[in-house]
Structures are given as structure tokens and as C-alpha cells.
């Protein structure tokens, strides 16, 4: 996928592709280039092809302005910007899947100092991966409404600072895991970081509709890390919960992609809702949802959990399937816009993951 050579950047206002909106305080030198060959997604549950997509490249140099001058970057705002680079709201969800697995692995309360070390190192690792993701995606972030206020876009943090920050967090987190938890957890965390940055962000995201499916593997790794931090080994229980998150990720993210698909289409990112109809996306959501719920019920027959987890998995999974099928029904009926209500499933997916993993933590005390 090769964009045409960029034109020489200017100093004035830039024009937003397709909408003609000014972004003079963001980046200069916006160029557009059509792909010379189709982007094809092969294999998986949602393989399709995309041809003639317009890819937008943006020069990674701020065009200047109030937000980009060091004189106008107060310390407090800068500190918040660096925290924002780590995407703390996403990391909260990652930690929700880490700590309960530590309780399951310990079959009780794990060493609290070990929990703190694992959470701290896990935050640094995920934060480093997110910062590097923003560094790589700063060109398209500048053109998407949802991401146009990210620190590397506004100039509050320079690209070089973002790169050094992300790499630094990755190094410190790996050493912290190795020295204060164990080296198995360290290598798992480093693998998750590299997978997210290299495999998802650099390879899959802009090339295939399967990006979020396989790229989501990085988000499954905290489950394995939670188990390994306690036992310094692996288990089928950890693998099952890994697969729960693996099948959870696409139906969690696709509803959001349906909501903002114009953003992704504008910058040529082939998210599934960009390529196919809402009806086709909803069908994939239902398929992955059933796989997720069925896998979540494997822990009890294999002897890893008892009645409490099973009841929670059945109730929350049943409600998920209700929402997924309701979304599919609305999509089949041709509902669009606010009537599609795709974000209902997105918000419920976060609640589902939280409740399910709380049940993972509580279950050992009720057996």
C-alpha cells in the first residue's frame, strides 16, 4: 500500500479532506492518494475486499500555533497530556482482567505487594504501547474527529517526546516485571506491547478488516500475565479466559466502529463497518458473541470455578446475546443513525467484562 509522494507543506490553514473543514492549528501538508491495488482481507470470519480507498497522509510536523510553542505549554497541561498518551481508561479495563485472574490462580487472596507490582508494571507496559500507537497513528488521528484532540495532534507533546516516552515506559515495565514479579510475566508483557505496536498498529490496522480480530490478541495478554504473576506458569484456566477476551474484542469494538465509520473511511482504515453493511457487521457480532459466551462456560466443567461464576456467566452472557440479537434485528430492519442504537452493546460489553471477571475473583471464596 504505497501513497503518492507528499506535496510540499505549507504554513497556512489546511483543508480537511471531503469536508473542507479548516485544521490550520493541527498539521500542514495534507495529501491524498488513491491505492493502486485493492486491500484484501483473507481468512477469518469477516474476510472482504476494499478497493479504490482514499488514504490520507499527514505530515508529522505541527504547523505552529498556540498549542505547539513551548512557551504556551504549562507544566500541568503537559503532565495531563503525557498521562493521556497512556490511554488510562483503556488500561482500567486491562487491569480489571488482570487482578481477578490473580485471585483465581491463588484460589484466594494473592500477595498484595505482588498485586501492586503487577498492576504498576502492567500500567507502564500498556501505557507504553498506547503512546507508541499514538506516535505511529498521529497522521490519521489529526483527521479523525474522535482523535483530533490527542496530545501529539494538538502539539502539547512533540512526536519525539511521544516516541521516547513510549519506549521508556516499555523498557521500565519489562524490567519492573522481571525484577519484582517474574520474568515469564515480563516476556508476556513485552510480547503484548510488541504485538500491539508492530502487528496491529503497523501491519494490520490499515490493511485488513481483520485488524481488530487478530490485533485484539494484545488485549488478551493481561489475563495470562495475571496468572503467571502468581504461579510463574500457565494453565488451561488462563487460556480459556484469554479466549473469552479474544472473542469479546470484536463485538466490543465493532459497534463503536459502526458509530464512527465515517472517520475511519475518511482516512482509509478498513474497519469492518467501513467495508460492509450494518447487517453484515451485526451478523459477525452475533457469531463472535455466541463463541464468547460458550467459551466462558468452560471453566466450571473443567473444575476451575464453581456455581457463582457459572451463574454470573450465564446471566451476563444471556443479556449480551439479547443485546447482540437486538442490534442484528435493528440492522436487518434498515435502522440507521440514532435508531440503530449500536452503542448500547458497546457500553454493555464493558459492564459484561467487569462483572464476569469480578465473578472470577469472588468464586474461589464460595467453593
Q: What is the pLDDT of residue 69?
A: 52
Backbone angles phi, psi at 30, to 5 degrees: -75, 130
Q: Give residue for cell 466462558.
A: 296
Beta carbons within 8 Å of 248's beta carbon, 6+ residues apart: 288, 292, 349, 352, 353
- Model confidence at 35: pLDDT above 50: no
pLDDT, tens digit, 9 for 90 and up, residues 64-104: 333 445 546 788 999 999 999 999 988 888 889 999 999 99
Q: Report helix, strand or coil for 66.
A: helix
Beta bridge partners of 120: none
Q: What is the pLDDT of residue 92?
A: 83
- Taking 3-state DSSP, the helix, strand and coil percentages for the chain, each rounded to the nearest 5, stand at 65, 5, 30
Q: What is the pLDDT of residue 93?
A: 82
Angle between helices 343-362 and 88-106 (to 10 degrees): 30
Q: How far apart are CA 48 and CA 277, in angstroms?
A: 12
Q: What is the pLDDT of residue 200?
A: 96
- Model confidence at 192: pLDDT above 80: yes
Architecture of domain 30-60+87-366: Orthogonal Bundle (1.10)
pLDDT, tens digit, 9 for 90 and up, residues 207-242: 999 999 999 999 999 999 999 999 999 999 999 999
- Model confidence at 330: pLDDT above 60: yes
- DSSP states along 201-216: IIIITTT-TTHHHHHT
pTM of the model: 0.80
Q: What is the pLDDT of residue 90?
A: 84
All structural domains of the chain with their residue ranges? 30-60+87-366
Q: Report helix, strand or coil for 41.
A: coil
Q: What is the mean pLDDT of residues 190-207?
A: 96
Enclosing H/E stretch for 98 = helix 88-106
DSSP 8-state code for residue 7: P
Amino acid at each position: 500500500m504505497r501513497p503518492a509522494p507528499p506535496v510540499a507543506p505549507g504554513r497556512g490553514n489546511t483543508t480537511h479532506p471531503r469536508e473542507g473543514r479548516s485544521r490550520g492549528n493541527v498539521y500542514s501538508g495534507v495529501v491524498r492518494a488513491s491505492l493502486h491495488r485493492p486491500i484484501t482481507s483473507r481468512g477469518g470470519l469477516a474476510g472482504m475486499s476494499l478497493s479504490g480507498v482514499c488514504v490520507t497522509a499527514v505530515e508529522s510536523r505541527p504547523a505552529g500555533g498556540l498549542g505547539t510553542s513551548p512557551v504556551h505549554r504549562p507544566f500541568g497541561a503537559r503532565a495531563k497530556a503525557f498521562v493521556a498518551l497512556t490511554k488510562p481508561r483503556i488500561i482500567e479495563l486491562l487491569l480489571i482482567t488482570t487482578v481477578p485472574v490473580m485471585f483465581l490462580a491463588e484460589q484466594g487472596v494473592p500477595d498484595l505487594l505482588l498485586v501492586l507490582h503487577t498492576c504498576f508494571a502492567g500500567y507502564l507496559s500498556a501505557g507504553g504501547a498506547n503512546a507508541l500507537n499514538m506516535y505511529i497513528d498521529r497522521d490519521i488521528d489529526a483527521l479523525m474527529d474522535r482523535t483530533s484532540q490527542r496530545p501529539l495532534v494538538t502539539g502539547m507533546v512533540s512526536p519525539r517526546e511521544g516516541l521516547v516516552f513510549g519506549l521508556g515506559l516499555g523498557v521500565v515495565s519489562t524490567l519492573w516485571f522481571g525484577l519484582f514479579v517474574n520474568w515469564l510475566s515480563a516476556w508476556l508483557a513485552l510480547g503484548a506491547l510488541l504485538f500491539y505496536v508492530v502487528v496491529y498498529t503497523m501491519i494490520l490496522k490499515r490493511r485488513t478488516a481483520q485488524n481488530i480480530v487478530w490485533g485484539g490478541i494484545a488485549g488478551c495478554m493481561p489475563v495470562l500475565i495475571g496468572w503467571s504473576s502468581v504461579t510463574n506458569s500457565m494453565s488451561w484456566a488462563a487460556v480459556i479466559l484469554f479466549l473469552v477476551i479474544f472473542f469479546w474484542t470484536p463485538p466490543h469494538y465493532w459497534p463503536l466502529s459502526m458509530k464512527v465509520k465515517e472517520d475511519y473511511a475518511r482516512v482509509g482504515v478498513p474497519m469492518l463497518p467501513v467495508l460492509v453493511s450494518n447487517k453484515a457487521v451485526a451478523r459477525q457480532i452475533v457469531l463472535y458473541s455466541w463463541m464468547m459466551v460458550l467459551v466462558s462456560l468452560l471453566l466450571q466443567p473443567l473444575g476451575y470455578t464453581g456455581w457463582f461464576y457459572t451463574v454470573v456467566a450465564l446471566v451476563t452472557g444471556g443479556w449480551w446475546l439479547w443485546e447482540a440479537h437486538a442490534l442484528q434485528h435493528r440492522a436487518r430492519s434498515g435502522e440507521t443513525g440514532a435508531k440503530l442504537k449500536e452503542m448500547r452493546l458497546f457500553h454493555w460489553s464493558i459492564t459484561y467484562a467487569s462483572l464476569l471477571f469480578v465473578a472470577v475473583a469472588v468464586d474461589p471464596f464460595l467453593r
